[in-house]
């Protein structure tokens, strides 16, 4: 079944928050959120909201897009909690088991706060390496010149680049330019937006493209907490799409929705 989405929240187009709602002291933070929500927000009961499939048919479908390559489980969990409370119909995430677990944990946390509807969980996959949704930035910080102003850090909307100078034993603060630059791309936070590529004045940042493993995807679809799949395909190589589809096998029968993005 292929149906279009009516609207979505694409977190790849804006800065991603890094809240600590569930990152540490989970029970304490969750109690705080419950108290805050129940005292300040009037959330309609699940029975008053259309089901995801009905929203889709009515053209009122709202989807949260965490990002096909965004794999920061703590942030994904928090975002899933907040947007489930907001009443989204679907949460689209990376086809990665820890990320899917985080989405479902966020949904369960939201449902423990209020009687909201359960959104569908959708995973995103691709059939070739040329889809820009499936890439990460990569560079060796030791290749960066000592006088680089590091604009890559400033333009990254996901705070996925962290760099710092590390002094050698015989160096001082006054001579720290002779140290080494350490850090680089925080892989799980990078979702391949590409802003850093053009920002680098020395052209040292490259894109690392990849294809989601179909065997892993098939196992995810066999779970009872994954409801939909979005397949990114350019349509030029039908053999690649056929290979992916064949690899998914009978697991595709477990989902409520198959969406194609070209």
Q: Percentage of the chain with pLDDT > 90? A: 61
The CA angle 230-236-241, to the nearest 5 degrees, is: 45
Query: Following CA atoms 20, 24, 29, 31 in sequence, which dihedral angle do they give, to the nearest 10 degrees?
Result: 150
CATH architecture of 135-209: 2-Layer Sandwich (3.30)
* Structure confidence at residue 4 (pLDDT): 38
Distances (CA, A) of 101 to 58, 91, 226, 231, 236: 29, 12, 10, 20, 33
* Structure confidence at residue 225 (pLDDT): 96
* Structure confidence at residue 15 (pLDDT): 41
CATH T-level assignment (fold) for domain 7-131+211-261 = TIM Barrel (3.20.20)
Q: Are strands 180-185 and 161-166 parallel, antiparallel or unpaired?
A: antiparallel
Query: What tokens does 251 get?
Result: 């697991």
For the chain, 262 residues long, the average pLDDT of each consecutive 10-residue run is 44 43 56 66 66 90 95 95 93 97 96 91 94 94 88 95 76 56 91 95 94 95 96 88 95 95 88
Q: Where do the domains of the chain lie?
A: 7-131+211-261, 135-209
Q: Which residues contact 19 (CB under 8 A, 6 or more apart)?
A: 75, 78
On whether the CB atoms of residues 101 and 123 are closer than 8 A, the answer is: no
φ, ψ dihedrals at 91, nearest 5°: -120, 115
* C-alpha–C-alpha distance, residues 46 and 43, integer Å: 9
The string of pLDDT tens digits covering residues 96-142 is 999 999 999 999 999 998 888 999 999 999 999 888 999 999 999 98
* Structure confidence at residue 181 (pLDDT): 74
CA dihedral (51, 55, 58, 60) positive or negative: positive
């Amino acid at each position: 079944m292929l149906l279009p989405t009516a609207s979505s929240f694409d977190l790849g187009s804006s800065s991603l928050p890094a809240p600590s709602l569930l990152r540490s002291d989970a029970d304490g933070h969750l109690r705080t959120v419950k108290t805050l929500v129940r005292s300040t927000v009037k959330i309609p009961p699940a029975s008053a909201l259309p089901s995801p499939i009905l929203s889709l048919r009515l053209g009122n479908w709202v989807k949260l897009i965490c990002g096909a390559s965004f794999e920061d489980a703590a942030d994904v969990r928090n975002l899933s909690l907040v947007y489930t409370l907001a009443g989204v119909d679907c949460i689209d995430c990376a086809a990665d088991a820890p990320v899917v677990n985080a989405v479902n944990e966020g949904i369960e946390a939201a449902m423990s706060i209020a009687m909201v509807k359960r959104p569908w969980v959708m995973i995103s996959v691709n059939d070739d390496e040329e889809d820009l949704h499936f890439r990460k930035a990569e560079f060796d910080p030791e290749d960066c010149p000592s006088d680089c102003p590091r604009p890559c850090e400033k333009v990254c909307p996901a705070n996925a680049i962290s760099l710092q100078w590390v002094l050698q034993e015989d160096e001082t603060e006054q001579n720290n330019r002779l140290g080494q630059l350490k850090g680089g791309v925080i892989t799980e936070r990078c979702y391949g937006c590409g802003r850093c590529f053009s920002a680098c004045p020395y052209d040292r940042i490259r894109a690392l493209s990849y294809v989601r493993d179909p065997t892993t995807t098939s196992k995810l679809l066999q779970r009872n907490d994954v409801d939909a799949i979005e397949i990114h395909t350019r349509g030029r190589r039908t053999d690649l799409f056929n290979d992916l589809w064949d690899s998914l096998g009978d697991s595709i029968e477990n989902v409520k929705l198959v969406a194609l993005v070209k």
